[in-house]
Chain A
Amino acid sequence: MKKTLATQLDAINEYEREPVPESKLKGLKSFVGMYAGEHTAGTEFVIGPLFVVHGVSAPDLFLGLLVGNVLAVLSWAFLCAPIAVKARLTLYYQLEKICGRYLVSGYNLVNALMFCFLAGSMIAVAATAVGIPFNIEMPGLGDFYPSSVGWAVTVFLVGIVITVVAILGYEQISRFANVCAPWMILVFVAAAFAVMPQLGITSLESFWQVAQTRIWNGVPVDGFSKFTFWHVTFFAWFANMAMHIGMGDLSILRYAKKWEYGFASVAGMFVGHVMAWIASGILVAAASGEVTPGPIAYGSAGIAGAICVVIAGWTTANPTIYRAGLAIQSIVPSVRRWKVTLVVGLVTTIAALFPALVMRLLDFVALYGLVLMPMGAIIFIDFYIIPKIGLRSYYAEAVKTPFNVAAGVTWVATLVLCLSLNYFQGIDIFFLGLPGWFIAAALYIGLSKLYQQKKPKQAEIKVSANVM
C-alpha cells in the first residue's frame, strides 16, 4: 500500500521526548559539516559590513575575532556538549523536567519567536540575491517595511522552499549543510581574493596596510558608535550565546557520540565566522560601501556569489526553523512536528518581509542571546551543582509541579537586572551576557534552597552529575 506524504512525515522520529538511542548517534563529520554550514550564513554578509560601519580598526578586529571565537568554542565544548551527551534530551524536554510545563511553555514561546525572527533575517538576506536576475526593487538597510510587491513575493517563495526542507527533518538538514559547506566557504574566500586588486592589495605584504587604511580604518560612519577590541570579542563570543551558554545546541549535540564533538564548533567559528566576517568586510570596501548582501556577492563572484548568498541564508535558516519547531512542539506534543514546523515556517516568512530585521541585526542577535541565556545557566547549575548541595535535580518532574518558582524568578529577575543595566547605565547588550550568567547561577542556587522545602513525591532521578 502506498504511504501518503502525511504518513511518511509522521514516521520521522526526532526523539523529542526520549533520549536519542545509541544506534542513531552521528559521527564527527556530521557536526563539522553542520557547524561549518550553519555559521557560514547569509547574516555574515551583514555582520562583517556592520563592523566596518562601526569603525573597528584592523588590529582590534583580528585580535577580537581570535579571542572571542576561541571563547565561543570552549563554551560549546565544556558547557553544552557534556550535558548533551549525558542526558541526550532536547533542550525543551530537559527544561520541562527542571522548570515544569507551564514555565517551559512560556520560555518556549519566547524562544520560538526569537528563532523565527533570526531565521527570518536569513530568509531576507537570501532574498536579496534571489531578486537580482528579476531586477526586483530591493529594500535598503534603512527600510523598515516591505519595499515592493516583488520583494514580498521573492521572500515568500524563498521562505516556502526553506520551510519544506526543514519539515523533512534533521537528517535532510544535516545532509544539505554537508554538501553546501565546502563550496560555500570557498566562495567566501575566493570572492574576497578576487576583489583585493581593486583595493590596491597586490601581495600578502600589502594586505595589512590596505586593511588598516581602506577597509577597517577605525572611523565609524556618521550616526554609528565606535567599536573596539572588546566589542568585537564579546560580540564574537556571544553571537551564538543562545546555542552554547544558553544550551540551545543540546538538541543538536545529543546526537554526538562523544562530548568532544563540541569542538566541532571550531569549524563554524573560524572557517565560518572569522573568515566570513573578514571576507564580507573586504567585499564591502571593494563595493564602495554598498552593504546589501546579494549585490556585493554578485559584484565579486557573479552568479555563483548570488547563489552563495541564497544557500548561506538557507543552511542557517533551516536548523533555526527546526529548533523553533521543537520549541513549539514541546508545548503541544500531540501535534506532529512537521505540522508545527509548517506553521513556524510561515511565521518566519512573514517576519522576513520586514527589512528592519536585517537593519538591526547586531542588536537583535545580542538580545536574543541574552533572553535565552538564563535558562542555560539554570540547566548547568541543575546538572552539576544542585545534586552536590543536597538539592533535587529535575525538581519539577520530581515533585510534579507545572511551575518551578525558583527557575521562573531566576529567569525574569536576571533579564530585568541585565536590561536595567542596559537602559540606565547604557552598557551595550552584548557585554551583559557574562555578568548575567553569574547572576542567574547565583539566583537559581539561592532560590532553589528556599524553594525546595517540600519533599519530592517521586524520588527517582534518572540523570544527574553524580551518577554519570
Chain B
Amino acid sequence: MQLILKIISYIGLLLTVVPAFLVFSGVIELSFHKTLMLIGTLLWFFTAPFWMNRQRHPEESI
C-alpha cells in the first residue's frame, strides 16, 4: 500500500514540474501546464503525508 502511495506522490511531483519544461520547450500552452500542476499538487497532498510521516518515526527513535 505504501509503495502505491509513494508512486502516486512521485507522479504528483512530476506533474508539478515537467509541464513547465514543456511550456519552455514550446510543446504545450501555459494554461494546460497550470491544469496539470494543480492535478500534481492534489496527488501530492493526498498521498505524501501518509508515507512521509510514517517513515520518520523509526529514525527518530534511534
Contacts and interface: CB of A to CB of B under 8 A. Distances in A.
Main secondary structure of the interface of A (DSSP, over half): helix
Contact of A183 (B24, B35, B44, B60): B44
Nearest to B30: A194
Interface string B2-37: 000000000011001101110110100011011101
B53 A175 contact: yes
Nearest to A172: B53
Given A179-B49, A189-B20, A302 B38 contact: yes
Given A178-B56, A302-B34, A193 B24 contact: yes
Given A301-B37, A304-B41, A194 B24 contact: yes
A193 B60 contact: no
A63 interface: no
Give the size category of B's interface with A: 20 to 34
Given A27-B60, A29-B56, A197-B24, A182 B13 contact: yes
Interface in A172-228: 175, 178-179, 182-183, 186-187, 189-197, 201-202
Contacts, number: 89
Q: Is the interface of B mostly helix, strand, loop or mixed?
A: helix
Interface string A267-300: 0000000000000000000000000000000000
Interface residues of A, number: 31
B35 A302 contact: yes
A339 interface: no
A235 to B, nearest CB: 28
A23 interface: yes
A304 B62 contact: no
Given A183-B44, A304-B37, A304-B41, 10 more contacts: A27-B56, A175-B56, A179-B45, A179-B53, A186-B13, A186-B17, A189-B17, A189-B20, A190-B33, A302-B31
Interface of B: 12-13, 16-17, 19-21, 23-24, 26, 30-31, 33-35, 37-38, 40-41, 44-45, 48-49, 52-53, 56, 59-62
